[in-house]
Amino acid sequence: MNKKTSIDNRLAYLYLADFDYLSARILLLFGLAHTGFPKAAESFEKLFKLFLILEAKISRNEELTVEDLKNYKHKLVTLFDEIKSKIPVKFDKSWRDYFLFLQETYHKRYPENWKSFKYEVDISKLDLCYLYLRSNITQNFPLEEQGKAKQFGGFISNGYSEKIKVIIKRRTGKSLSEMLFQDNDHIKKYDLSFNKL
């Protein structure tokens, strides 16, 4: 018997994606592209799977199983193509190319997959894609959850006590929210709340 993902897990997927995205930003800001881009890939994988969970429930009143989601593995391009087939929005080729790039970086985490590879750190593309998709996907949350969906990091952020936040700022020179906003030209375009970060 396949375990249901339960649409109630949607906030967990969202908040985990937020922290994967924040982790990717921090790694990339500090020049750690080899680990930053795979972490970015993980953030999009969670967002895409969240979209599929919501779409199945809204369109067909179905709940996807864990196995349904596992079948996509870490194939960002396949997930992105699946999403594009279900929405009327047109994405130019650069979006698919970006997800192909992230998918490749995810698979190049191990030396047996290395040949020749060049990283170009473009945090702006990461920010644009993540924040645009996050904003549009969360519009499909039930009205009573819209406030929670707008909270970046949600209940995961609640796990960061004020003491831990002070330690992070002392060690890095910046708070988590400052690292999220640093060189981020896209963040203010979306209706998100960062008061817990």
Domain range annotation of the chain = 7-189
Whole-number pLDDT of residue 3 = 59
Token couple for 178: 């400052």
Whole-number pLDDT of residue 1 = 45
Q: Compute, in degrees rounded to 10, the torsion defined by CA atoms 46, 78, 85, 192.
A: 20
CB atoms within 10 A of CB 2: 10
0.75 cut: is pTM over it?
yes
Whole-number pLDDT of residue 137 = 92
Whole-number pLDDT of residue 164 = 94
Whole-number pLDDT of residue 132 = 95
Whole-number pLDDT of residue 113 = 66
Whole-number pLDDT of residue 16 = 95
| Helices marked H in the chain | 10-29, 33-60, 66-70, 76-84, 93-107, 123-138, 146-150, 154-158, 162-172, 176-181
Whole-number pLDDT of residue 7 = 58
Whole-number pLDDT of residue 70 = 82
- At 125, which amino acid appears? K
Under-70 pLDDT residues of the chain:
1-8, 109, 111-114, 116-120
